[in-house]
Amino acid sequence: MDRFVTGLEPGREGIDALIDAAQTLKAAPRPGGPGPLAGRSVAALFLNPSLRTRASLEAAVVQLGGHLIPLSSGSGIWSLEFRDGAVMDGGAEEHVEDAVGALCRYADALAVRAYPDLVDWQRDREDLAVRAVARYATVPVVNLESAMYHPCQGLADLMTWREVLGRDLRGRRLSLVWTWHPKALPMAVPDSVVLMASLAGMDVTVAHPDGYDLDAEVLATAERQAGEAGGRVRVTRDRDAALSGAEVVYARSWGGVPWYGKGNEEYRHKARLSHWRIDGMDMAKTADATLMHPLPVRRNVEVEDAVLRSPRSAVLRQAENRLHVQKALLARMLGG
């Protein structure tokens, strides 16, 4: 496996093996010896801000004995053009083909975070930046969040579900509940949640208001995977029904395709949706559910403070598990 872009590349058994390896690494974070990445480098292109992804990736590479080369857009690297055949007479100084070609001569793996522009959904869903890096790279490539997928978050979430609910997740009830947020956020996290949970055979309910449908192709893949694994995927506008009986409440906001590129219009539309916020009364409707959110979270906007601080919150466990799953992934992709 030399590409980790959608998160599904390893297959069901491969993903299970990655989580097993991550659990072993979590139990013994620094086993001694030179480490599988000794003398090796990972170049990470951050085209957008990050706290957890940036820090957990660097910690993962260092704990495996390697070296991270972080390259952040807007702080020292050339702005990149991702379109094939572009006439580069605009702001971009360098084509991704040349940048990736050069980086592959220094680094043993590339990682890239490239958010969508949030202007044109059909263009964003092509994941131009991460696909271009994957196309031109001659070394393994890891997607650190694109328009469509946040696969490392998906792995960390799967690890967290297994820790909370047990290894066999078939039929366990996860509700992904849309939350109000002042900005339109990418769909990468909810996509990866439904893809990973369905792969594990969970009973997945996605609750959101009108206009916030997830990508049809992602949902179709999730439904097929759930069918194969003994689970199911449902979509509802009824958040109370989604909360009732849930064992995991996954709170997350995302933007609506009908308002794509029309932030002000969406903000006006969303004004009446601020009750889509997880609070203590919501959690009381569940089956003693665990609260999950990938962070960063807008406190008392998306989720109430008291819920985030309660023993039922697993948000920091999720954040920690990013480290362990990324170590397992890099060790596997680099042959450790």
From the CB of 294, what's the least distance to ligand CP, in Å? 4
Query: Least distance to ligand CP from the beta carbon of 95, Å?
Result: 26
Beta carbon nearer to ligand CP, 53 or 198: 53
Tell me if 253 sits within 8 A of 180, measured CB to CB: yes
Which residue type, as a one-letter code, is found at position 34? Answer: P
At closest approach, how far in Å is the CB of 163 from ligand CP? 17
Token pair in block for residue 321: 């598990």
Q: Report, in Å, the least distance between residue 238 CB and ligand CP.
A: 28
Distance CA 25, CA 287 (A): 31
Shortest distance in whole angstroms from residue 57 CB to ligand CP: 9
Cβ nearer to ligand CP, comparing 108 with 145? 145
Q: Output 295 or 301, the one with its CB closest to ligand CP.
A: 295
Nearer to ligand CP, 225 or 321 (CB): 321
DSSP 8-state class, residue 166: -
- From 274, 307, 318, select the one nearest 179 (Cα to Cα): 274
Alpha helices of the chain — where are they, by DSSP H? Answer: 11-27, 52-63, 96-103, 121-124, 128-136, 151-165, 188-199, 216-229, 239-243, 263-270, 280-284, 305-309, 315-333
- Which among 177, 242, 233, 176 has a CA at the least distance from the CA of 201? 233
Q: Which is nearer to ligand CP, 145 or 302 (CB)?
A: 145
In the complex with ligand CP, which residue's Cβ is closer, 56 or 221? Answer: 56
3-state class (DSSP) for residue 69: strand
> Residues of 317-328 as b/e, b for ≥16 C-beta within 10 angstroms?
ebbbbbbbbbbb
Residue placing its CB nearer to ligand CP in the complex, 192 or 225: 192
Do residues 175 and 145 lie in contact, with contact meaning Cβ atoms separated by under 8 Å?
no
Q: Smallest distance from the beta carbon of 318 to ligand CP, in angstroms?
A: 8
Interface with ligand CP (CB under 6 A): 50-53, 145, 153, 294-296
Identity of the residue, 145 or 304, whose beta carbon is nearer to ligand CP in the bound complex: 145
Question: Residue 145 Cβ, how far from ligand CP at the closest point, in Å?
Answer: 6
Q: 208 burial class (0-12, 13-18, 19+ CB within 10 angstroms)? A: buried
Q: Smallest distance from the beta carbon of 284 to ligand CP, in angstroms?
A: 27
